[in-house]
Amino acid sequence: MSLSRFLVKRSLQGLFVIWGVITVVFGLRFISPGDPANVLLPPDVDPEVRAEVIAELGLNEPLYVQYWDFISGIPLGDLGFSLVTRTPVAARVLAKLPATLELAIAATIVAIVIAIPLGVISATRRHQPADYGATVFSLVGISTPNFWLGVMLIIVLAVQFDLFPTSQRPIGVDGIVLLFVSGSLGEAVDGLTTWLWHITLPAITLGTYFTALITRLTRSGMLDQLGQTYVRASRAKGLPETLVRYKHALRNTLIPVITVIGLQLGTLIGGAVITEAVFAWPGLGTLIINSINARDWPVLQGSLIVVAVGFVLVNILVDALYAYVNPQVAYD
C-alpha cells in the first residue's frame, strides 16, 4: 500500500473514532444525576420558569433532535453555550488551549532533550554508575505521581529557596509573539524570561514521567539494536563508533520510541490537567476541573471533545511520521 492510501485509510478510521468520541461525550450528560436546569435555577423556582428554561436549552426535544443539534454544530466549531456564563464554549476552550499546549510542548521538549541522551549513555555504559543512576531515575520517575512532584518542587524550589514562582502564567507565548511583532523588543525579551521562569517548574513536573519513560525505552531499544548483527557489520566495515551508534542504532531505536511517545500523548494531556491544578496554570485542565465543580456540562463536553479529537489527530500524524521514517512498515 502506498503512503497516501495508508493516510487516507488512517484518516477514515480517525474520523470514525472522532464520531465515537462525540457520541460518548453526548451520552455523558445522561449519567449525571441532576438535570442541567438545576445548575441555572434555584431549587424552589416556579415550575413554569423551569419549563421555560428547559425549552430554551432544547432539553424537551426528542433525543435524536438533541443529538443532531449537538453533533451538527461541531464541524462548524459550535460546541454550545456555557450554562454558567452563557458564552460560546468554543471561544472559552480556544482561549485556554495555548496555555495547555505550551505546557505540553515544553514538557515534551524537556523529556526528549534529557531522556534520549540519558538512555543512550545508559545503554552504552552498561553496568557502570551512569547506567545504574539512569535506571533508578527512570524507575522512580515512572512511579512518581506528578502532582506530588509538583508540590515537592514548590516546597523546595519556590518556598524554601525562592528560585521560582509558585504558580501562574503572567504571559504566554502568544503574548510574547505579539510584543515581538509590535516591535517592543525589550519587552518581548522580558516577557520571554518571565515565561521561562514561570513554566520551568510545571514543565519539569509534567515532563518527568515522560523523561523516565523515554529513558527506559531508549535504553532498552539501544541495547537491543547494539546487539544486532548489522551493528557488528557496520563496525566490521570500519565505520566510526559515533556513526554506528547515532546514525544506525539510535535511529532504529527511535522509530518505535516515536510510536510510544504518540501513544502516551494521552497521558501527557491527563498529566497536564493535574499539573495545571497544582500550579494554577490557566489551561484546559483548569477549565475542565472548574466546569465539573460548577456542573457546567457543555464546557466539560466541549473540552473533552477538543482534547480527544486533538489526540486522535496527533496519533494520525505520528503514524504518518512512523511510516515515513520506517521504510519497512507495511501500513496495515
Among the candidate windows 16-24, 53-61, 84-92, 105-113, which touches other proteins by CB under 8 A? 16-24
Pattern 275-294, other proteins, x by CB under 8 A: --x----------xx--xx-
The answer to whether 317 contacts other proteins (rule: CB under 8 A) is no
Is 122 in contact with 134 (CB distance < 8 Å)? yes
Can residue 142 be called a binding residue for other proteins (CB under 8 A)?
Answer: yes
Contacts with other proteins in 194-233 (CB under 8 A)? 209, 213, 227-230, 232-233
When asked if residue 188 is in the footprint of other proteins (CB under 8 A), the reply is: no
Interior/surface letters 153-181, b for 16+ CB within 10 angstroms, e for the rest: bbeebbeeeeebbbbebebbbebbeebee
- Backbone phi, psi, residue 81, to 5°: -120, 145
Count residues binding other proteins (CB under 8 A): 80
Cβ proximity to other proteins: between 49 and 139 the closer is 139
Instruction: Give the alpha-carbon dihedral of 312, 318, 320, 322, to 10 degrees.
Output: -150
Smaller CB distance to other proteins: residue 175 or 262?
262
Q: Where are the alpha helices (DSSP H) in the chain?
A: 3-28, 37-40, 47-56, 63-73, 89-124, 129-143, 146-153, 173-181, 185-226, 229-236, 241-242, 251-263, 265-279, 284-293, 297-325
Q: Does the footprint of other proteins cover residue 236 (CB under 8 A)?
A: yes
Span near other proteins by CB under 8 A; candidates 82-90, 95-103, 173-181, 246-254: 246-254
Q: For residue 44, give every residue at least 6 positions away whose Cβ sits within 8 Å of its Cβ, in sequence order, or none.
A: none
| Identified binder of other proteins from the candidate list 6, 26, 67, 147, rule CB under 8 A | 147
Q: Which is nearer to other proteins, 171 or 275 (CB)?
A: 275
Residue ranges in 153-172 that form contacts with other proteins under rule CB under 8 A: 154-155, 159
Q: Is 24 in the site for other proteins (CB under 8 A)?
A: yes
Q: What is the DSSP string of 64-91?
A: HHHHHHHHHHGGGT---B-TTT-SBHHH
Nearer to other proteins, 108 or 252 (CB): 252
**Residue 328 makes contact with other proteins by CB under 8 A:** yes
Q: How far apart are CA 112 and CA 215, in angstroms?
A: 9
Q: Does 297 bind other proteins (CB under 8 A)?
A: yes
Is the CB of 100 or the CB of 176 nearer to other proteins?
100
